[in-house]
Structure 1
Amino acid sequence: MDPKIPKMENRDIQTAPFLKRLPIEVRIEVYRNLLSTQYTKNFSISKQFPVHAKLWPGHAYHLDPTILRTCRQVHSEASTVLYHENLLVRVRSTHKNIRSLMNIKGIPYFLEGRKAETFKHCAMSVDFDRLNTAHRVKSQEDKPCYVIASNDLQLLCQSLLISHTVINSIFWYYQFRITIHRMFDDMLSSNPVQTSPQRRLLEPLTVLHSVAYFEITGPANTEYCASIAAQVSRIAPTVGKCFDKTMKLSHKGHTCVRQNDLKGAVKFYRMAFAQLISTCLRRHLVGTDWTAFQPGLQGAIIDTYLILLADLAFLHYTLDELDDAHLWAYQATKSDLRSSRMRRQNLGAKLVYLKAMASARLGKHAQAIDELCQGLKFVTREAYKDRQLVAVRREVRYQIKGLGGITVLKAMGIGHL
């Protein structure tokens, strides 16, 4: 990504087959496959945040800028793709955990620190700081600074929402200063098209809300900038509205299950779970006073969280996706499974057995036995009367008997499984 190109030798470029035989349209497609974030994006799963990675898979861009060193004509043509089509954005903040925010959504960065600060090809800069703290910073270089793709700006804003109190947001204490550095075609249009640089740069910011101070400077339409500022300053949604959206997505998942569309059910359950942990549940985790909620809403949110985890675990197991089934069952058993609804359905016991069975079918028999032992606290007396659990326990016995699992379980006093 370094714009400095070494001195090139004089060459007879007219005889180069790449330039002589291929039209400019074809060459641009070649450059895009090497230098465009749209064509070189690859997804990956982060082990640091496994559940978040399933909901928001991380990604990386495998750019190959060495083609810029070929000759001056190629450098001139390819630079347009690298620096103009990609729309790189500089992000600066006094927020100490900005790198962690990027990790939540698996956002890659091209440059950081002083290199990012001095990079001259950014289309826009985004500075967000707490009010009355920006003047304490001696210089811009004292802030953490990164260069990212404009396509990832919306993911960064979503990470900000997840990491803070989403309802009645803490953004009332933040100021956002947006600076557009470059003039593009259609930048002064009040109604830009979807692919317009103006819209690609500013539209991702509209996922924010409750922002008290928001300023846009640079070559952009004043009317359009005012509409963006109005959207980010809107009042945050209430807990009830956020929870209603979660339940609508969950009901769509139930409908897919009834229609035997398990893949579709997984999609809607994941969307519902992402909505829940990004809004209602996040408010609970930061220590909100639940007495201000509607009666019974606290229990409904916690029950919905656990039920969604259980549904995802069972669906993945039915689809024979054992790794995913184990992940969601593990996440569920980390929580308190003693809610009234969970006890009535014996979901705690079922998740314990499902997690162990997934491990056993993956060939991890010792881990399966260990998970059974650790999860016995969720297996109540009522669970042994559940007819649906009889076949499950029988399957567990069958899966772990290869390593003498039954003998080990009996020695531990749990041979009744």
Structure 2
Amino acid sequence: MSSPGSVDMIPEATAPILLGLPVEIRLEIYRHLLSSKYIKRKIPYDDSMFETIYYNYDFHKAILRINCQVHQEATDVFYRENLFVCFTISSPEFRLFLRGSENVLFLSHSDSMRHFGGCAMDIIHHCPERWTSTSFLLVNDQLPNLLRTLRAYSQQLDQSLAKGPFSVRLFEDFGRWSTETQPRSFPVPTRIQSLLEPFELLYGVESLDIKGAVDEDYKQSVIRSATQQEPTVAEIITAASAIKNRGDEAFRETQYNLALSLYTSALRDFQVNRHCFEYTGSLTTGEFSQMSTAHAVRSFPIRLHLCLAAALVKVCEYKRAIDHAKMALKQIVTREAPPEEWEGFEISADEIGRALFWIGMAQKGLGDFPSAKSSFRLALKYHPEELMEESGRLEAGLE
């Protein structure tokens, strides 16, 4: 993959008109012309087609050839807007797993990626007694998914993998780009935080060596987070519940987008720890007090999916709301999980009614009134008191 710097200059005659515009307008033009996005493509494979997702650069490279100053300004914008990360790992099993994973979107994966000149950060994960390695190039928004996948894989298949040492290097050019748009009073630019915060998803790492222009206190806080021991189930659910409670407060204050963000964060933090649960003891604090650990593990995502369905209806994302409400119903009735989670688990009619209610609200938002009417009637069957009046009113309005 070539970088925007690999172009030949058009011979200069006079200063281009573009440079006569204010710099703020020029930067917006560069952002528009050097845009990038994830796209889906169908790829031929063995006489058939499969769909995959690529990070696509839909930019007009001709602008880079106009003038040396334009070239410099445009490439600076490009690397500000697109933070590339090179991840190198020596585990052959995990390399194969990553290549087939749908959880992480890569730009490329090969040994040559170590020499890609536009990286903001280079990560090397050392695995003991393994000498071959492969590098993956990705955009920084995929780094949390990569580290979650690494941790989940380690918990399920290779417990020593995620605990191996990491070497992280922030490049000097990135340091310049990241600080130019940030006031000097900020010790940690937000773009550097976006690169290093994902390492806080890890636990029990042997060592994390971070090199580059990073505030020392912030660097040490990331290292402490990544090297601390695995949390207990009580700590996992307590921490995620605290985020959910903030989402509940935002929802009550009609800050629905904030609530949606907090609920999503709570579910993400719960799921990334999902594989390390040991079903022993009971929780003693919070809304899951006196509930068995296994039942709390089943109950918490049900409540989160219902909260997500409600928030998504409020922001008019009806299809996603239906998906989360159905996921809550699936968690209520499924018996595929470990038996500790569902043996003796009391199914709440209130939660079933809430799920059906939000499905009905989403169907109403989509204009599918017959289905919405059916969902409201089914919700009333379970008699959640706080939903009866509103469900009846909405159903009457669909007659």
Q: Normalising by structure 1, what TM-score?
A: 0.63
* 1:325 match: 321
| 1:335 to partner: Cα distance | 2.0
Paired residue total: 354
Work out whether 1:308 is the aligned partner of 2:313: no
Work out whether 1:246 is the aligned partner of 2:240: yes
Counterpart amino acid of 1:68? L
Work out whether 1:236 is the aligned partner of 2:230: yes
Counterpart amino acid of 2:59? D
* 2:205 match: 211
Deviations 1:165-223 (A, max 9, x none): 49xx7655433233455467689x9x983239876654553443311143446x55796
Larger CA Rg, structure 1 vs 2: 1
| 1:304 to partner: Cα distance | 2.3
Work out whether 1:22 is the aligned partner of 2:21: yes
| 1:290 to partner: Cα distance | 0.9
Report if the CA contact (8 A) 1:110-1:148 is conserved: yes
Deviations 1:83-106 (A, max 9, x none): 5775532122342333566x53xx
Equivalent-residue separation in structure 2 for 1:151 and 1:226 (angstroms) = 22
Equivalent-residue separation in structure 2 for 1:18 and 1:263 (angstroms) = 38
Q: Using a 3 Å threshold, how does the CA distance of structure 1 residues 261 and 24 change in structure 2: closer, same or farther?
A: closer
Report if the CA contact (8 A) 1:184-1:197 is conserved: no
SS at match of 2:331: coil
Equivalent-residue separation in structure 2 for 1:326 and 1:315 (angstroms) = 11
Q: Using a 3 Å threshold, how does the CA distance of structure 1 residues 332 and 128 change in structure 2: closer, same or farther?
A: same
* 1:409 match: none
Consecutive unaligned residues of structure 1, counting only runs of 5 or more, are 46-57, 402-417
Equivalent-residue separation in structure 2 for 1:201 and 1:261 (angstroms) = 28
Equivalent-residue separation in structure 1 for 2:315 and 2:206 (angstroms) = 47
Equivalent-residue separation in structure 1 for 2:229 and 2:311 (angstroms) = 37
Equivalent-residue separation in structure 2 for 1:314 and 1:198 (angstroms) = 34
Counterpart amino acid of 2:2? D
Counterpart amino acid of 1:98? L
Report if the CA contact (8 A) 2:120-2:174 is conserved: no
Equivalent-residue separation in structure 1 for 2:245 and 2:315 (angstroms) = 20
Q: Once the two structures are aligned, what percentage of the paired residues are identical?
A: 21
Work out whether 1:64 is the aligned partner of 2:53: no
Q: Using a 3 Å threshold, how does the CA distance of structure 1 residues 292 and 360 change in structure 2: closer, same or farther?
A: same
Q: Aligned-residue CA RMSD in angstroms? A: 4.9
SS at match of 1:331: helix
1:252-401 aligned at under 5 Å gives the runs 252-256=246-250, 265-279=259-273, 282-283=274-275, 288-291=277-280, 296-314=292-310, 316-317=312-313, 321-337=317-333, 343-348=347-352, 351-352=355-356, 355=359, 358-359=362-363, 362=366, 383=381, 392=391
Work out whether 1:126 is the aligned partner of 2:130: no
Q: Using a 3 Å threshold, how does the CA distance of structure 1 residues 222 and 171 change in structure 2: closer, same or farther?
A: farther
Deviations 1:216-274 (A, max 9, x none): 46x55796766654442122332212211222233334445555666655454444333
Consecutive unaligned residues of structure 2, counting only runs of 5 or more, are 41-52, 180-184, 284-290, 335-341
Equivalent-residue separation in structure 2 for 1:10 and 1:112 (angstroms) = 36
Counterpart amino acid of 2:117? K
Counterpart amino acid of 1:121? G
Q: Using a 3 Å threshold, how does the CA distance of structure 1 residues 321 and 123 change in structure 2: closer, same or farther?
A: closer
* 1:404 match: none
| 1:33 to partner: Cα distance | 4.5
Q: Using a 3 Å threshold, how does the CA distance of structure 1 residues 322 and 31 change in structure 2: closer, same or farther?
A: closer
* 1:407 match: none
Equivalent-residue separation in structure 2 for 1:391 and 1:196 (angstroms) = 44
Q: Using a 3 Å threshold, how does the CA distance of structure 1 residues 238 and 41 change in structure 2: closer, same or farther?
A: farther
* 2:166 match: 176
Equivalent-residue separation in structure 2 for 1:362 and 1:198 (angstroms) = 41
Deviations 1:131-151 (A, max 9, x none): 323x1x2xx4xx2x3333446
Q: Using a 3 Å threshold, how does the CA distance of structure 1 residues 84 and 320 change in structure 2: closer, same or farther?
A: closer
Report if the CA contact (8 A) 1:43-1:60 is conserved: yes
| 1:331 to partner: Cα distance | 1.0
Report if the CA contact (8 A) 1:313-1:328 is conserved: yes
Report if the CA contact (8 A) 1:326-1:354 is conserved: yes
Report if the CA contact (8 A) 1:209-1:232 is conserved: yes
| 1:77 to partner: Cα distance | 4.0
Counterpart amino acid of 2:17? P
Report if the CA contact (8 A) 1:186-1:196 is conserved: no
Report if the CA contact (8 A) 2:188-2:214 is conserved: no
Q: Using a 3 Å threshold, how does the CA distance of structure 1 residues 171 and 393 change in structure 2: closer, same or farther?
A: farther
| 1:305 to partner: Cα distance | 1.9
Q: Paired residue for 2:85, among 77, 83, 89? A: 89
1:147-166 aligned at under 5 Å gives the runs 147-150=137-140, 152-154=142-144, 156-161=146-151, 165=155
Counterpart amino acid of 1:298? A
